[in-house]
Each structure stands twice: as C-alpha cells, then as structure tokens.
Structure 1
C-alpha cells in the first residue's frame, strides 16, 4: 500500500512538473523607446499571446536595457536571449549576406518590401538564420530619405561635392560614387553637424529625421514615397530551439500574434513616411519627390559601387543579389 502511495505521489509530481514546463516566460530585447513602432510590434505579440491564455508570457526589455543595440544577435543565436527586434544588417559582420537587407535601390517602396519578404531571396536569408538557430516571427522594413541643408537631393548628381552622412556602409559606398564626401556618425549627431556646417546633407530613417528635429536645419527634404532608396529590414526574431520547445498551442498563439503584428508594422511604416513629410512641410521645409528615373540612376550607380563590393565580399553574393533584384 505504501509503495502504491509513493508511486501516486510521484505521478502527481511528474504531471505538475510537465505543466510547469509548458508555462514559459520569454525575454524579448530591443534598443528603442516604448513609443517606437518597433516596440509596438513587440507589444502586440506579447499582448496577443497573453490574451490567448496558453501559459506563455513575453517580457520586453526596451531601450537596450538587457543587451546593447548591436550585441543582440549572438546571444539570440546561443539561446541566452529568446526574442529580439533587430536591424538584421547589424549582424552583417557574422553573416555578410545580411548586408543585403540594407542595400540602396534594392527595395522601391513598402509594397515591394512586402513582396520581398515572401520571396525566394528571403527564404535564402532565413536558411542562413536557421544555421544560427534563429527564425523570423515578424517581417518588417522601415524606410528613409534624404535632407539637404541648402538644396534638394533626388538624383546622384545632386550629391556632387556635398559632405554627407549615410546610413550604412553600402550607402556610403554609393554616395561616394556620386561624388560626395562621407562623414560617418550616428543619426543622433546629424543635427549638430548640420548646425555647425560639418554636413550639407544626410540620409537616415523617416522616424530619425523627425525625432532628431532635422527639419530645423534643412531647406529641403526628400521623404520615402512611391520611390525611395533607403529601406532597412528590421524583423522580430526568435531563437529556434526555444520556439521548438513550446507546446503546439503556444506556437499557434505566437504565430497568430505575429501575423497581426506584421500587418500593423507594414501600415505603420507607410504612415511614418507620410507623417515625416508633413512635419517637415509644416516647418516650412521644401518637399521633393524621387522619380522612377531618379531611382533607376541611383540603382545603376549602386551596381558599380555597393552591389559590386557586396558580391566581392560575400559567399554566394551574386546569387543572393540576383534573387533580390528579381522581385518585381
């Protein structure tokens, strides 16, 4: 009888531990403030998963409070971090192929970006991630534009002789090819550099142009519209082993939440561009638009500069570039 009771207690304890194993807390890290669209994307996923009541909680650590901005991919791939919202090109040092996710002229507009997310090209990028034990939950691109202190910038010839700040190595290569001098700095330093005459022009994201009040220092702004050069892939990623360890119900809740967050991300990204143009216009800044002809000129220049360098530096670089360029 005693033996039977012991066995029963053990069985109950085993069931309890199985239930505990099914309940999980995931840690999600990112570098932005809680007002940023990328935090809102993470919050939608966390809230939707909580509402699904599947014993899964996502705890968000914003403003680089858990890991530094550029130091999140490695802990994610090692399982020391469960989830992150990250500009994938930050990990271009570990995986050179990721540099293609911040490449001038590769994405024309947000709808084109959405098609790219579903393409064979993105499938190849996701295969590389899988080798690092990383997977995508939410795809998303954010766009950016140009601002000129004294004149408008829409085509390569507008950059000749200008001192400019570019967002990313590939953009620096292309703008140098257009005859600009490059001053490397964080987007947070653009305002002072414009004010002190160090910069004549700048290239950054729509949200940075607004949050750093660049409209106080420039005469003309070229926002992302029907055509834009600067698109940066900034997905919500997850450690694959952690995901595989979830129950089927938890996985289903996470996928449903991610689908909702991705739709929100696309609409908000479009909105940010339009709102940035309005903010600059309200501040009395001239608004310029890039034409299809301008875009084609930039892409031709990128072929000779940024694309060429990428192919030379990256295993299977030409194949990946061709796949990306094949998406209409």
Structure 2
C-alpha cells in the first residue's frame, strides 16, 4: 500500500496497523500537521512528554474521532545536509535553494530568505548532485538512507537539540481495535508503550550515526545549541505556527497546549 494512502485506509478499517509520519496526512486532517511543526518540539525529552501531557491527550482524542488509535509515541529528529556551507543560523539560508519537506518548514525558510524547492525525499540526492538544490532538511535516518553524504560538504545534526522533529507513531485502525476483546486491547497498548524506549534509543543512535557517516566523507559536521534553536523558533511563531493556528479551532487548541510543554 502506498505510504500516503495508509492513514486513510486505517480510518476505514482497510489496514490494521501502520508506522508512518503523522504529518503525511495533513491534507486529509489538518490537525496532524502539529506532528512536524518546526520549533514546537526541540528535544526528545520534550517530545516524549506529550503522551501524558494535555496536548497528547487532546491529539489522541482528535485521532480517535478520526478513527485512529496511537499505540506507540515515536519522535525522530532531523538535520540539514548542504552542498556548501553548514546551515546553522536562519540567515545562512538566504539566497539558497532549500528543501524544507513540509508546508510549515517552507514558510520559515521563505521568511529567512531561501528559495524553497518542493520534491519527494527520494529525489533529494539527484537534485543536490546536479545543483538544482543547495540544501535539504529531513530526518537523521533519511540523511543516511538516501546517502546524501555523497553530495554534501556539510551537515547540521539534530543530536544536541533541533527545531525539526517528526512525530512518527505506530497507529492502529480504531475500527479494528474496537472489535478486539478488552484484554487484547490492553496488551496492544502495553506493548506499544514498551516499544517507545527502543524507538527513542534507535532514533538517537541514528542522530549519532549520521554525524559519523558525514565525518567519514570529510564533510563539516555541526550541532545546534539552545540559543540557535530559539532563533528558528522565533520565526516559526510568526509564520508556521500562525498559519496552523488559523486552520481551525482544534489546531488552535492543540498549538496552545503544545506551547505549555516548551
């Protein structure tokens, strides 16, 4: 089943479970774009706190209404691969052709003076190789799997904190879940919770592995500090966050609850 069809299929009960970035379904359910909202989650600790915080409970309620049950809360940090200089401060993207990977990130990049390039992640390598694109934001795992170190001279990692975190939960069709005996439902939720520690450790291992992979090719590897993350966050507040808040009442409420975790 194609990636972007899975969320809808789960809602209809045509697919039982899926591990997929929640924001991929933002066109169908605007609220889920909060799962890739730049600057809203800046550390793994904060991201994983959502599950038991008001924002997590509200997001789970909205997803249940849409026919989805979250079994495992999983977050993954991302970074920036660049053909030239490292992308650290917002002003570093001025005049560059950059792939943000989401509407929200594109809004921030435009505000910072970049020319936004829109294309699927599996086309990043070719675009950077030809010079059609100067830099790209994506998850640590994708920065490795698409071998972007072959066409990059610099990498900004997410290992010390980031303004790019993706919510990629293990989800289940509520229609299928509701048909199960209570005992089996409890087992699924318990095992889903147990998997979160493994998921977090694996994502953080990728954050370290991507740095090693780029260093091996001689690329310049840099990390972000809290002060720099706040600069990106400040742009996000007046662009992406505002855009999301104005979508509907649910989005406004989710954003307000998420800000409480900052």
Q: What is the TM-score normalised by the length of structure 1?
A: 0.77
- 1:252 pairs with 2:252: no
Deviations 1:125-173 (A, max 9, x none): 1111111221111110111101221101111011111011112110011
Instruction: Determine the structure 2 residue equivalent to 1:265.
Output: 199
Q: Which runs of 5+ in 1 are unaligned?
A: 1-66
Task: Indicate conservation of the 8 Å contact 2:39/2:233, yes or no.
Answer: yes
Alpha-carbon shift at residue 322 of structure 1 (Å): 1.5
Instruction: Determine the structure 2 residue equivalent to 1:326.
Output: 260
Instruction: Determine the structure 2 residue equivalent to 1:56.
Output: none
- 1:138 pairs with 2:68: no
Instruction: Determine the structure 2 residue equivalent to 1:93.
Output: 27
Instruction: Determine the structure 1 residue equivalent to 2:49.
Output: 115
Q: Distance in 1 between matches of 2:174 and 2:135?
A: 41
Q: What is the TM-score normalised by the length of structure 2?
A: 0.96
Query: Structure 1 residues 291 and 309 mapped into 2: Cα distance closer, same or farther (>3 Å)?
Result: same
- Match of 2:86, SS? coil
Q: Distance in 2 between matches of 1:130 and 1:72?
A: 16
Bigger mean CA deviation after superposition, 101-110 or 114-123 = 114-123
Alpha-carbon shift at residue 217 of structure 1 (Å): 1.3
- 1:186 pairs with 2:125: no
Alpha-carbon shift at residue 315 of structure 1 (Å): 2.7
- 1:315 pairs with 2:219: no
CA RMSD in angstroms comes to 1.3
Instruction: Determine the structure 2 residue equivalent to 1:163.
Output: 97
Instruction: Determine the structure 2 residue equivalent to 1:124.
Output: 58
- Match of 1:232, SS? strand
- 1:225 pairs with 2:152: no
Alpha-carbon shift at residue 182 of structure 1 (Å): 0.6
Alpha-carbon shift at residue 89 of structure 1 (Å): 1.0
Q: Distance in 2 between matches of 1:213 and 1:74?
A: 31
Which one has a bigger Cα radius of gyration?
A: 1
Q: How many residues align?
A: 262
Instruction: Determine the structure 2 residue equivalent to 1:154.
Output: 88
Counterpart pick for 1:288 among 210, 222, 229: 222
If asked which structure has higher relative contact order (CA below 8 Å, sep 6+), I would say: 2
Alpha-carbon shift at residue 120 of structure 1 (Å): 0.7
Deviations 1:40-77 (A, max 9, x none): xxxxxxxxxxxxxxxxxxxxxxxxxxx21001112211
Q: Distance in 2 between matches of 1:307 and 1:252?
A: 35
- Match of 2:195, SS? helix
Alpha-carbon shift at residue 309 of structure 1 (Å): 1.1
Q: Distance in 2 between matches of 1:78 and 1:267?
A: 32
- 1:203 pairs with 2:155: no
Instruction: Determine the structure 1 residue equivalent to 2:146.
Output: 212
Q: Which runs of 5+ in 2 are unaligned?
A: none
Deviations 1:167-212 (A, max 9, x none): 2110011111100001101111111111111111111111111111
Task: Indicate conservation of the 8 Å contact 1:108/1:226, yes or no.
Answer: no
- Match of 1:228, SS? coil
- Match of 1:264, SS? helix
- 1:77 pairs with 2:11: yes
Q: Distance in 1 between matches of 2:237 and 2:5?
A: 30
Q: Distance in 2 between matches of 1:319 and 1:130?
A: 16
